[in-house]
Amino acid sequence: MNKRISWGKVVTVAFVGFYLISSFLYGLRTYNELVDMEHFLEVAHGRLLVEMQRREDVVSGCRSAVALYANMEGKLQDRLIELHRLTKAHGTRAQIVKGESMEIMKLVHELDLLIEKYPGLKSKGPYVLLMETMQQTGYQVITERLNFNNWTYNYNVTCHLFPHRILAIVFGFREQPFLQGPLDYASLNNLLLKAN
C-alpha cells in the first residue's frame, strides 16, 4: 500500500500548476491593462467635451461683449454728434447741452465697466479680441481631439494584439471610432455614446 511518488509526476504537476498560475496572472494583467486604456480613453473624451463646452461658453461671452461694446460705441458716437450739433445751435451753456453731456458721461462709464471686465477690448480692439479668442479656444479643442484620437489608436491596437485580442473578445472590449470631420458638441457626445 505504500506508493512511491515518481519525480516525473511531481515535476509535471508543478509545471502545469506554474503554467496555470502564470496564465491566470498574465490574463489578469492584460485585462487590467485593457480596463485602464478604456478608462484613459473615456477621460480623453471627457476632456474633449469640456474643451468644446468651454469654447462655446468663452466665444459666446466674447461675442456678447463685442456686440455690447460696438453698440455702446455707436451710441456714444451718436451722442457726441448730437452734442456737437446742440453746441453749434444753442451754445455751451444751454441746459439741453448739459443733459446731453450727462448722458455721454453715463455711456463712457458703462463702457469703462465693460472694458474693465474684458481688458482685451481696449488693448486689442473688439474684433481682434474675438478672433484671438476663437483661435485660442479652437487650438485647445484641436489639442484635446488629437489626444483623444491618440488614445483611440493605442486602445484599438492593444485590442487587436494576439493575447489581448482573446480577452477583448471574451470581455467585450470593442474597437472605438476615431473623430473625423468637423466637431459639434452634441453630435460628438451621441457618436461616442453609440460606440460604447
Q: Return all residues near 54 (Cβ < 8 A) that are at least 6 apart.
A: 137, 140
**Is there a domain that residue 153 lies in?**
yes
pLDDT digits (tens, 9 = 90+) for 61-113: 889 888 888 888 888 888 888 777 877 777 666 666 667 777 778 888 887 88
Position 189 scores a pLDDT of 56
CB 179 within 8 Å of CB 147: no
CB 26 within 8 Å of CB 163: yes
Position 1 scores a pLDDT of 44
In angstroms, the CA 24 to CA 143 distance is: 39
Domain, as residue range, for 94? 33-195
Grid coordinates standing for 83? 452734442
In angstroms, the CA 111 to CA 98 distance is: 20
Predicted TM-score of the model (pTM): 0.68
**Is there a domain that residue 3 lies in?**
no
**Is there a domain that residue 117 lies in?**
yes
Look at the chain and report how many structural domains it folds into: 1
Position 184 scores a pLDDT of 56
**Is there a domain that residue 28 lies in?**
no
**Is there a domain that residue 52 lies in?**
yes
**Is there a domain that residue 189 lies in?**
yes
Provide φ and ψ at 42, rounded to 5°. Answer: -65, -35
